């Protein structure tokens, strides 16, 4: 019997779901009973990875069958859904988190901004020494000068008290820093600094989607912030918002290890200034002046009515270029996957908190050899009665600010007094098939590319103070996974291996 196209598609998708249920059991969430069995010492414990079900596979295949391919209806829907989740004006999809950082910084170089706000070659952008290189690379790629300050090794984040010493009147235009490993930086201090000097704040939120930061209402009002993010009820005393919504512009990564995935992919979030969307979109889409979505013409109603540059009057706006841009759009099937992942994001965030706590609980008596991370503003971790609730209690500093972390990883710093190094531990974990990573590039100033850059172009970067915290992270820290695919059995194995290793030293 012949099937209609709709019936044929439905049958293909039914079989797709069945195939995925059988083929992808190892990628299901850690609390999914259908997940494949963990065999200690044989099954790899990844530090991160894709967590999905047949929902994402069906969405990808369904979108591919429609064969729009380039960014289209799925992308438009995902951009709106992500923006609504975060509570920002716009989200703009790109092909990676690194591209998101490049587009975000590039948007602030446009000639369409007032001269005192435009980042020009030779202007300075404050950043932090230890982290991932593509937080810093866009500064250099746009001809600006990155100004490095140190990290706090306990949080992995910027030492905010050093910001003033990095400021150069007339030169400093922005701060571009990441929320480290799903731990928000000191948003209050950074915002106060940026407001005081009229600087842009670019939040690299690639490792921190779903983190929240709270500040007392009185402080928020001083900074011109009065509203909570959607979905976060006010408690009457604090303003609470997701990270990636406090600055002017922020970025996301949807690479497989991150909080949700599209395979490759990322986003630029425009927090509250609509013109920044037009600038970012232009740099993403070849540098063109036109803002029509792919496949659509004459959104402005005057496609042949513009007179820009030295082009003849009425030159086609779709082929008018105001910037030296790129083509950094993802594909529509990727966005279809991302939409399914976004629906699971709240559960993923909860799992990351539970997993961090489970590891912290299981290793809590090893404080003689390890220093453990703390959320920014926390002064101490209070051991709960049982592990895995995701409701760890912390003691907090006197600022009244708080964090709720969506942990990207569980960082351990091996004390100098220990009889082993972080590299010894990393090698042992690797041999036991336990995934682990250094804190990305460590102190980036020690990386070959930056060492060579300082030799070739000494004025291309500026360093403020000693990078003792960044060096400590580089020399002593590794991190384990907290991703939602971890099972209790996997974490018990990790804890057991680490404890046995310490005892044997």
- Per-residue pLDDT of 200-229, as tens digits, reads 999 999 999 999 999 999 999 999 998 888
Q: What is the pLDDT of residues 457-480, one digit of tens each?
A: 999 999 999 999 999 999 999 999
- Domain coordinates of the chain in residue numbers? 1-29, 73-291+325-332, 292-321, 345-504
For the chain, the C-alpha Rg in angstroms (whole number) is 24
DSSP codes, 340-370: HHHHHHHHHHHHHHHHHHHHHHHTGGGTTTE
How many C-alpha atoms does 492 have within 13 Å on its Cβ side? Answer: 6
Provide the CATH number for the domain formed by 73-291+325-332 in this structure.
3.40.640.10
* φ, ψ dihedrals at 229, nearest 5°: -75, 155
Q: What predicted TM-score, i.e. pTM, was given to this entire model?
A: 0.96
Q: How far apart are CA 180 and CA 436, in angstroms?
A: 16
Q: Which of 179, 238, 258, 259 is catalytic?
A: 258
Strand 462-463's sheet: what is its strand order? 90-94, 266-270, 249-253, 200-204, 172-178, 124-128, 145-149, 462-463
Strand partners of residue 220: none
Q: Which helix (H) or strand (E) holds 165?
A: helix 163-166
Q: What is the pLDDT of residues 261-301, one digit of tens each?
A: 999 999 999 999 999 999 999 999 999 999 887 778 888 89
Residue 258 annotated to the active site: yes
Identify whether the C-beta of residue 431 lies closer than 8 Å to the C-beta of residue 413.
no
Provide the CATH number for the domain formed by 345-504 in this structure.
3.90.1150.10
Closest CA to 352 of 44, 47, 4, 24: 47
Q: What is the pLDDT of residue 385?
A: 81
Q: Has residue 1 got a pLDDT over 70?
A: no
Q: What is the pLDDT of residues 424-451, one digit of tens each?
A: 999 999 999 999 999 999 999 999 999 9
317-322 CB contacts, 8 Å cutoff, 24+ apart: 317/289, 317/290, 318/288, 318/290, 318/292, 319/288, 319/290, 320/288, 320/289, 320/290, 321/286, 321/287, 321/288, 321/289, 322/110, 322/111, 322/112, 322/282, 322/287, 322/288, 322/289
Task: Write out the two tokens for 223.
Answer: 């900074």
| 73-291+325-332 and 345-504 agree in CATH topology | no
Task: Write out the two tokens for 179.
Answer: 């929320």
Q: What is the mean pLDDT of residues 135-158?
A: 98
Strand spans (E) along 226-279 = 238-242, 249-253, 266-270
Q: What is the pLDDT of residue 2?
A: 83
């Amino acid at each position: 019997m012949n099937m209609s196209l709709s019936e044929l598609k439905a049958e293909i998708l039914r079989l797709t779901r069945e195939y995925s249920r059988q083929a992808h059991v190892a990628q299901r969430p850690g609390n999914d009973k259908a997940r494949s069995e963990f065999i200690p010492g044989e099954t790899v414990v990844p530090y991160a990875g894709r967590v999905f079900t047949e929902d994402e596979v069906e969405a990808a295949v369904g979108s591919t069958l429609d064969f729009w391919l380039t960014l289209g209806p799925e992308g438009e829907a995902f951009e709106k859904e992500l923006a609504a989740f975060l509570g920002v004006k716009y989200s703009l999809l790109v092909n990676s988190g690194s591209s998101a950082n490049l587009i975000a910084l590039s948007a602030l170089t446009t000639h369409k901004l007032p001269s005192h706000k435009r980042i020009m070659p030779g202007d300075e952008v404050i950043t932090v020494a230890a982290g991932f290189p593509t937080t810093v690379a866009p500064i250099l790629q746009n001809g600006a000068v990155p100004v490095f300050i140190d990290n706090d090794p306990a949080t992995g984040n910027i030492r905010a008290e050093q910001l003033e010493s990095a400021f150069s009147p007339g030169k400093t235009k922005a701060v571009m820093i990441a929320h480290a490993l799903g731990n928000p930086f000191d948003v209050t201090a950074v915002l106060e600094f940026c407001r005081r000097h009229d600087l842009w704040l670019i939040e690299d939120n690639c490792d921190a989607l779903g983190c929240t930061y709270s500040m007392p209402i009185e402080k928020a009002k001083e900074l011109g912030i009065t509203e909570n993010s959607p979905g976060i009820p006010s408690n009457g005393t604090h303003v609470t918002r997701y990270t990636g919504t406090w600055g002017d512009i922020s970025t996301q990564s949807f690479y497989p290890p991150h909080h949700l995935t599209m395979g490759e992919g990322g986003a630029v979030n425009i927090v509250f200034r609509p013109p920044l969307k037009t600038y970012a979109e232009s740099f993403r889409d070849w540098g063109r002046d036109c803002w029509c979505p792919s496949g659509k013409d004459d959104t402005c109603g005057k496609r042949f009515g513009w007179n820009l540059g030295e082009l003849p009057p009425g030159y086609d706006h779709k082929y008018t270029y105001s910037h030296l841009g790129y083509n950094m759009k993802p594909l529509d099937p990727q966005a279809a996957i991302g939409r399914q992942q976004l629906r699971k994001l709240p559960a993923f965030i909860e799992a990351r908190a539970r997993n961090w706590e489970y590891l912290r609980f299981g290793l809590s008596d090893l404080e003689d050899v390890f220093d453990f991370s703390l959320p920014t503003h926390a002064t101490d971790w209070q051991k709960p009665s049982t592990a895995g609730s995701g409701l760890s209690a912390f003691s907090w500093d006197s600022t009244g600010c708080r964090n709720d972390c969506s942990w990207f990883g569980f960082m351990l710093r091996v004390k100098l007094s220990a009889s082993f190094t972080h590299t010894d531990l990393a090698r042992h974990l690797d041999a036991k098939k336990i995934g682990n990573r250094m804190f990305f590039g460590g102190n980036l100033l020690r990386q070959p590319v930056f060492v060579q850059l300082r030799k070739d172009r000494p004025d291309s970067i500026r360093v403020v103070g000693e990078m003792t915290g960044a060096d400590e992270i580089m020399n002593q820290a590794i991190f384990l996974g907290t991703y939602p695919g971890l099972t209790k059995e996997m974490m018990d194995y990790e804890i057991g291996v680490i404890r046995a290793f310490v005892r044997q030293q």
